[in-house]
Amino acid sequence: MSVVVLTGGVGGAKLVLGLIRALPPREVVAIVNTGDDFTHLGLAISPDIDTLLYTLAGKANAAQGWGREGETWSFMEALRSLGGEDWFALGDGDLALHVLRTARRAAGETLCAITADFARRWGIGATLLPMSDDPVATQLDTDAGTLDFQRYFVERRCAPSVRGIRFVGAGAARPAPGVIEAIGAPATRAILIAPSNPFLSVDPILAVPGIREALMKASAPVVAVSPIVGGKAVKGPTAKLMGELGLEVSAGAVAGHYAGIVDGLLVDARDPPMDLAIPQARADTLMTTLDDRIRVAHAALDLAATIAR
Least distance (Å) between residue 80 CB and a copy of itself: 8
- For the chain, the straight-line distance linking the first and the last C-alpha, in angstroms and rounded, comes to 15
- CA-CA-CA-CA torsion sign (295, 233, 50, 300): positive
Q: Which stretch binds a copy of itself (CB under 8 A): 73-81, 259-267, 274-282, 283-291?
A: 73-81
Contact criterion met (CB below 8 Å) for 181 and 150: no
Contact criterion met (CB below 8 Å) for 255 and 267: no
Find the helix or strand (DSSP H, E) in which 141 lies. Answer: strand 137-142
97 touches a copy of itself by CB under 8 A: yes
Least distance (Å) between residue 89 CB and a copy of itself: 13
| Residue choice 21, 88, 102, 210 for contact with a copy of itself (CB under 8 A) | 102
- The CA radius of gyration of the chain, in Å to the nearest whole number, is 18
96 touches a copy of itself by CB under 8 A: yes
* Strands ordered across the beta sheet of 280-283: 127-130, 28-32, 2-7, 188-193, 222-225, 264-268, 280-283
Q: Which is nearer to a copy of itself, 96 or 216 (CB)?
A: 96
Least distance (Å) between residue 234 CB and a copy of itself: 29
Residue 152 to residues 52, 113, 237, Cα–Cα distance (Å): 21, 29, 10
88 touches a copy of itself by CB under 8 A: no
| Residue choice 58, 64, 65, 103 for contact with a copy of itself (CB under 8 A) | 103
28 touches a copy of itself by CB under 8 A: no
64 touches a copy of itself by CB under 8 A: no
Q: Which is nearer to a copy of itself, 98 or 293 (CB)?
A: 98
245 touches a copy of itself by CB under 8 A: no
Burial of 34 (0-12, 13-18, 19+ CB in 10 A): buried
Least distance (Å) between residue 155 CB and a copy of itself: 17
For residue 295, how many other CB atoms are within 10 A of its CB?
18
42 touches a copy of itself by CB under 8 A: yes
DSSP sequence for 196-236: S-IIIIIHHHHTSTTHHHHHHH-SS-EEEEPSEETTEESST
246 touches a copy of itself by CB under 8 A: no
108 touches a copy of itself by CB under 8 A: no
Strand 137-142 to 162-168 pairing: antiparallel
116: left (phi over 0), alpha (psi -120 to 50) or beta: alpha
| Residue choice 21, 25, 89, 99 for contact with a copy of itself (CB under 8 A) | 99
Least distance (Å) between residue 84 CB and a copy of itself: 5
Q: Which is nearer to a copy of itself, 87 or 122 (CB)?
A: 122
- Among positions 109-168, residues that touch a copy of itself (CB under 8 A) are 117-118, 121-122
Q: Which residues bind a copy of itself (CB under 8 A)?
A: 41-43, 68, 71-72, 74-79, 81-84, 91-97, 99-100, 102-103, 106, 117-118, 121-122
